[in-house]
Amino acid sequence: MSGHARDEVLVTALECAERTGITIRALRLYEQHGLIAPRRTSKQWRLYGRDEIARLNEILALKTLGLSLRDIARLLRNHPTDLTHTLTLQRGALEETRKRAEHGLQVIAALQSKIGSGATVSVDDLIHLARETNMTETSKDTRAWRSYEQMRPRIETVINPNLLGDYAGAYSTEDGTISIVSERNGRLFYRIVGQHDIEILPEGESQFFMKELPVQITFERDNGEVRNLIHHQNGFEDHAEKMNPEQALSIEDEVRQRMEHQTPMPDGEHILRRVIEEHARGKPDITGMSPGLAVLASEQKNHIQSELEKAGPVKELSFKGVSHGLDIYDVKFENAKMEWGFARTFKGKISHLYLRPTF
């Protein structure tokens, strides 16, 4: 049936159930938990429009990650549905399912081959099969869930300003990515070495967030002392420990000197050539990358290899400059031109890498 406000299409509960595959009982259960509030006719018939059906998609996506209705209600309270975030969550959840299915099929094929060769299937084989093919198990410890949680709106809260000084200092991840936290005039700021300060606002005594980006920082204490932080971004959680602040500032000074004078890092061209060659073979060296970049490189390696195949052999590299701590190069291929940028940590791991076509 049709509504009159801006000609919005509204459907009844029965139509919604038939078209979405969600039972009427489930629709009522979601309503009882406060997850959805369908509109009503003068006769109290439930009506569902774009906003309500978008919220249903969000609920279903969160259910695939193993959240209870109570958890979902707590998460969605006072937050309108963001369709972009919901689609990201749904896509991530489906990709996780596809990966598990593909891996499960590999396990099945291996066992079929083993049986075909006359070998005996062991108890361990069967346990492994059950674990790898159990598609009903879900977990909140997935990149899709973390991405969704990190993108949701945050609410600033008031905390004891005396706590802020405890969080100030330098922190380093295991791969050598350095972040610096500073307190100024009752405000807390955060930056990755070579980048600019961004204010982080409290949503709890030890949880902070950026307004500019979907990034959160959580500080952790050990015996009352702040020892670690967790950087939450892009579905990843990077753990960092406090380090010598003088060493961190010295490393940052080197980066800033290179930015000021626009000088490349030593062996930068050689490093980039190697990275391009590895991606052209479809075998990026993920052991030489930060964990988050390694995951992204693995996910995108086929696409990048395809682009490099079309581009042809490298003909020329020319250093372009240093920006935000990244060395930028113009790369001329036989059939294309691209800009590549990368950064390395003080431990030699590649922490940032990008490429884009130029004309």
Q: Give the start-to-end residue ranges of the domains of the chain.
A: 5-76, 83-151, 161-253, 262-357
Q: How many CB atoms lie within 10 A of CB 217?
A: 23
Residue written as tokens 């969704």?
A: 148
Q: Which residue has the higher pLDDT, 166 or 50?
A: 166
Closest residue by Cα to residue 146 from 89, 66, 74: 89
Span 110-138, average pLDDT: 74
Residues 303-320 have pLDDT tens digits of 999 999 999 999 999 999
Span 276-288, average pLDDT: 96
In CATH terms, the fold of domain 262-357 is Nuclear Transport Factor 2; Chain: A, (3.10.450)
Confidence check: pLDDT of 129 > 60: yes
Confidence (pLDDT) at 233: 92
Confidence (pLDDT) at 50: 87
Asked: is 5-76 a CATH 3.40.50.450 domain? The reply is: no
pLDDT band at 354 (very low <50, low <70, confident <90, very high): very high
Burial profile 244-278: b = 16 or more Cβ within 10 angstroms, e = fewer: eeeebeebbeebeebbeeeebbeebeebbeebbeb
Confidence check: pLDDT of 97 > 60: yes
Q: Which residue has the higher pLDDT, 15 or 75?
A: 15
Chain centre to alpha carbon of residue 129: 29
Residues 132-161 have pLDDT tens digits of 666 555 555 577 778 878 888 889 999 999
Span 239-251, average pLDDT: 96
Length of the chain: 359
Q: What is the average pLDDT score of the chain?
A: 88
Confidence check: pLDDT of 127 > 80: no
Confidence (pLDDT) at 7: 60
Confidence check: pLDDT of 65 > 80: no
In CATH terms, the fold of domain 161-253 is Lipocalin (2.40.128)
Confidence check: pLDDT of 222 > 70: yes
Confidence check: pLDDT of 349 > 80: yes
pLDDT band at 346 (very low <50, low <70, confident <90, very high): very high
Q: Euclidean distance between the first and final Cα of the chain, in Å?
A: 51
Q: Which residue has the higher pLDDT, 227 or 8?
A: 227
Q: What is the pTM of this model?
A: 0.68
Q: Which residue has the higher pLDDT, 96 or 223?
A: 223
Span 325-335, average pLDDT: 96
Confidence check: pLDDT of 3 > 50: no
Helix 268-280, helix 291-311: angle, nearest 10: 70
Closest residue by Cα to residue 77 from 36, 20, 29: 36
Task: Give the Cα separation of 163 and 219 in Å (integer).
Answer: 11
